[in-house]
A = this chain, B = another copy of it.
Amino acid sequence: MRNHQATIIDIAKTLNLSKSTVSRALTGHPNVKAKTRERVLEMADQLDYQRNQLAISLLTNRTQTIGIMVPEFLSPFFPRVIIGAQDVLAQAGYNVIICHSNESYATEIVNARLLLASRVDGILVSHTKDTRNFEHFKIFERKGIPVVFFNRIVDELDVSKVAVDDYEGAYRAVEHLINTGKRRIAHLSGPDSLLNSRDRLNGYRDALTDNQIPIDPALIISYDLTLDKANIYVNHLLNLPQPPDALFAINDPTAIEALKVIKNRGLRIPDDIAIVGFSDDPVSALIEPGLTTVAQPVDDIGRQAARLLLNQLAAEEDRPASELVVLPTRLIIRGSTSSAPLPGNPY
């Protein structure tokens, strides 16, 4: 059974004060006699009083709560982003509600409604791979609730965004493969609905073209990020009449799945086929061989996104112009592309 939760009225009654005075004492208003404040504080403590944030939020139209929407958080990427964001937001006095949509567009819409009903003051979003309509985010904009996209960002919304330089990261990765002598470089790409997926694909293409390597459409496979599909596609690539001598994967989980398949088939990595991933998930340093990968500043993505949101929140009057932050990536070379790791390489 739910017990009665102490309210300022309870404190007021016991102390023979008005609730106004109690409220003032509790919030640190100057116009309260020191003695009175002391008595109020003591009684509040004694009654296990906790201010009811709901009532305050209803009054002020501010919940001090930020919603974070991510497509999943089983892989280590999004939890790390969330931790970074939460750190910055907590410092500014904001709480956080986390929603994960499990890569489902329908769930994402439900979650958006939920955050709207919870009256969050702003949201941080990385959309699902199936999201092509962004109407449910525009509602926030119309209501003046700031939205910041991160990692998976969208052109068609005029909001602040944080991304990494996916094009550049992909370009450098493929360039590295070319430098190690690879020529038939396959790309296991993500769905076309994701901008970062398209950017990485473009980086891959341009790196090949700039190095006079023709693009072979048979070596480019776009898939929906479901790992068992990755398995199928890697096998498909290896069964080609002219199989690839290198694979650039859209992300680390995909690369690791590929690595497993390739090892199972008894091929040598990187001699028969080299592999590069994207993100530098912690696993990538632990597996054998270590996975060469494009590292993203994961924490920073969250921190920056939170800061952009705070910028929007700070503006009392009309919304400040939206900002775009693009963070750099860093190629980390490990055994999956280089049998003799460079000396001095910290990995």
Contacts and interface: CB of A to CB of B under 8 A. Distances in A.
A29 interface: no
A124 to B, nearest CB: 14
Interface stretch (A47-55, A156-164, A172-180, A232-240): A47-55
B97 A1 contact: no
A260 B114 CA distance: 45
A63 interface: yes
B48 A139 contact: yes
Contacts of A32: none
A100 B316 CA distance: 31
A183 interface: no
Interface string A151-192: 000000000000000000000000000000000000000000
A270 interface: no
Interface in A99-118: 100, 113-114, 116-118
A1 B144 contact: yes
A260 B286 CA distance: 8
A309 to B, nearest CB: 14
Interface in A73-131: 73-74, 76, 79-80, 83, 86, 95-98, 100, 113-114, 116-119
A163 to B, nearest CB: 23
A79 B83 contact: no
Q: How many copies does the complex hold?
A: 2
A5 interface: yes
B3 A52 contact: no
A35 interface: no
A36 interface: no
A95 B283 CA distance: 31
A142 interface: yes
Nearest to A313: B2
A74 B79 contact: yes
B117 A48 contact: no
Most chain B CB within 10 A, of A2, A55, A63, A83, is at A2
A1 B318 contact: yes
A143 interface: yes
Contacts of A53: 117-119
A95 B73 contact: no
Contact of A50 (B50, B116, B287): B116
A295 B330 CA distance: 35
A57 interface: yes
A45 to B, nearest CB: 11
Given A2-B144, A3-B143, A52 B286 contact: no
A61 interface: yes
Contacts of A2: 61, 143-145
A38 interface: no
Given A74-B80, A96-B97, A256-B286, 20 more contacts: A1-B315, A2-B144, A2-B145, A3-B144, A5-B143, A48-B139, A53-B118, A54-B119, A55-B58, A73-B79, A73-B83, A74-B76, A74-B83, A79-B79, A97-B97, A98-B98, A283-B283, A283-B286, A287-B288, A288-B288
7 contacts: A1-B316, A50-B116, A52-B119, A53-B117, A54-B57, A97-B97, A97-B98
Closest A-B pairs by Cβ, 7 of them: A288-B288, A3-B144, A53-B117, A2-B144, A50-B116, A54-B58, A286-B287
